[in-house]
Amino acid sequence: MMRIFCSRSREAADRKPSLAAIFFSTLALLLCAASAHAAAPRPAPDFTFEGVGGKKSLRSLRGQPVVVVIAKSPKTKAFRKETESLEEIYHEFAGKGVVFVVAFSETEGEVKSNIPFVFANNAVSLASAYDLRKDIVVAVIGKDGNLDLITGQMVPAWRIREVIANNFETQNLARKEQPKGPPAAAPVPAKPLAPGVEPDITPSARPKKP
């Protein structure tokens, strides 16, 4: 009986490293896949709106950050709070070409805000494309047309400001501009002369005449 028990214990011990290796290998693959997915740009679902000269699309806003707010109705508490939050940064970004878009999936109505919202067409389809499940969806679209932020919760003004200032395009450009190779070594300062020691004035140490 003792030999059988020892034999089984050895077999179990032999299996443990292989199971652990499989677990950590799988975990590493999942983490790599999640990292690659998070780093990849995600194009924003297209939509149209009425602009100067007729119907326009999201593609016509390339080069401008776009803030999209989708709600069921302008009377919902979440939408009213979000517009109040956006008013804090509207004047800051109005001169930078930021466009604010709104859409209501159930009930349309007047938006009581000093922000000149652009009303998106076909709000029901837009709400589906941006995955509106509860009361609100807030999205920030970068100048390149990719989603820099999308969430089903209210977003404070400071977070919107942060996303617009550090969008995917800006971060990608910053990565390209980083200098390659190790940083240049700082110059070594000259050692101070000991008291009573005169500086070297040999011909090789004298500065050359222009």
For residue range 164-181, list pLDDT tens digits in order: 888 755 555 655 655 555
> From residue 84, how far is each of 108, 155, 156 by CA, in Å?
18, 11, 10
Torsion sign, CA atoms 159, 98, 78, 38: negative
- CA-based torsion, 40, 66, 110, 76: positive or negative: positive
Model pLDDT, residue 54? 85
Edge-first strand order for the sheet with 99-104 is 118-119, 99-104, 66-71, 136-141, 147-151
**φ, ψ at 68 (rounded to 5°):** -110, 130
pLDDT top residue among 204 and 153: 153
49-94 pLDDT, tens digit each? 998 888 899 999 999 999 999 999 999 999 999 999 999 899 888 8
Domain layout of the chain by residue ranges? 62-174
**Got the DSSP string for 40-80?**
S--BPPP-EEEETTEEEEGGGGTTS-EEEEEES-TTSHHHH
Tokens 């109040």, residue located: 84
Instruction: Label residue 36 by pLDDT band (50, 70, 90).
Output: very low
Beta-bridge partner residues of 101? 68, 118
For β-strands 66-71 and 99-104, DSSP reports them as parallel
Of 139, 133, 163, the closest CA to residue 44 belongs to 139
pLDDT at 188: 59
Percent of the chain with pLDDT over 90: 46
Answer whether CATH 2.40.10.220 is correct for domain 62-174: no
Span 7-21, pLDDT tens digits: 444 544 455 556 555
Return the pLDDT at 21.
55
CA 101 to chain centre: 19
Give the amino acid at 71: A
Give the pLDDT of residue 74.
94
Mean pLDDT of 108-135: 92
Residues 6+ apart with CB under 8 A from 164: 65, 67, 93, 98, 140, 148
Residue 26 is predicted with a pLDDT of 58
Query: According to the model, what pLDDT value does residue 3 have?
Result: 47
**Amino acid 165: pLDDT:** 87
pLDDT above 80 for 184: no
